[in-house]
A = this chain, B = another copy of it.
C-alpha cells in the first residue's frame, strides 16, 4: 500500500517550498507572484508525479467541504428509491453541479438520533437537504445546533427552519374539485399517515373542497393506506355498501394501482363505476389502464429550489424567504369520468 503523493513530494522535485507549490497549483497569482520558470517547474513536477491534492487536508484547513448531504427517511412502507426519489435526486444533482457542490447520501439506519447527528456534524458536509418528516426529532436537534439545512417535501414552522414543499392542501382541493365537477357527491379518500403534515394537508384540502360545495365529509368514506398488516382492508366492505363512494382521491399513485386492481376484481369498472385520482403522476400512470388521473408535484423544481436555498444558507447569504411553497397541477387522464347514476 504505497502512500499518496503529497505536496511535499512535488515541492522537493521542483526544488521549491511546498508553499510555492500550493500557490502555483491554486493559481493565486493575485496574492503571490511566482516567476514563469518556477511555475513551469512546479507544474511539470506535479504532472510527472501524478499529484492530486488531498481534499481531506483542504477541508480541514478551509473548514468547508463543498459537500452537501441528502438525508432520507430510513424506513417506510414504500421503497426508498421509488420514482419519486429518482426525481428528487435528479433535481438535487442538477442544482448541486451548478452550485459546485458534491453530494453525500445519508439513508443510513443508524441506531440512534445521536449517531445520525454525528454523521452530519462531523464536518464532512457543509449542510443537509432533509427529506424526513418535519417533526422528526433529528430536525429539532439540527435547528438547535444552528446547522444549515433545508427540509423539503415536508414542513417545520420554527422560524429558524427552512423548507420547500408542495401545496398539499391545494392538491387535495384540486383533486376533489375535479371529481365534484364531474358530478360525484360521494367521494372517498385513501389517506396517508396522521403523523405526516403532507398527509394531513391533503386531507384538509379534500375535506374543505367537499364542504365548500355543500358536501359533508364522511369519516366512513376515508380509508387508511394499506400496510402489510391491513392490506386494503376496508375497501371491500366499503364498496359493498349501498352508499359506497363513486370516486376516490388516493394518497399516491403507488397506492392507487393496487386499489384500481382490487376494484376491478370486485367488478367495478373504472371510470364507469368509480373514478380514481392519484397523487404523484408517476410515469406509470401514463401506461396503466385506464391511464390514471393524478396530482402532479413539481418534484425536480422543488428539489432544485431546496438545494439552492441550502447553498445560500451555507454561503451565509440572507435568505429572503425561508419557506417556499410550490403549486400543484392535475394531470387529467382516463381514470376519472362522470359520476354513475346509482339511483
Counting every copy of the chain, the complex holds 2
Binds B, one of A113-121, A132-140, A163-171, A201-209: A113-121
Q: Which residues of B contact A107 (CB under 8 A)?
A: 93, 97, 103
Q: Which residues of B contact A65 (CB under 8 A)?
A: 56
Asked if residues A93 and B80 are in contact (CB atoms below 8 Å), the reply is: yes
* A54 is an interface residue with CB less than 8 A from chain B: yes
Q: Which residues of B contact A93 (CB under 8 A)?
A: 80-81, 105, 107-108
- How many A residues are at the interface, by size bracket? 35 or more
Asked if residues B85 and A80 are in contact (CB atoms below 8 Å), the reply is: no
* A343 is an interface residue with CB less than 8 A from chain B: no
Asked if residues A119 and B104 are in contact (CB atoms below 8 Å), the reply is: no
**Cβ contacts A75-92/B at 8 Å (1 or 0 each):** 000011111011101100
Distance of A86 Cα from B90 Cα, bound (Å): 11
* A102 is an interface residue with CB less than 8 A from chain B: yes
Least CB distance from A148 to B in Å reads 10
Contacting residue for A288 out of B57, B60, B287, CB 8 A: B287
7 A-B pairs with the lowest CB-CB distances in the bound complex, closest first: A55-B122, A81-B86, A287-B288, A289-B289, A103-B105, A284-B284, A52-B121
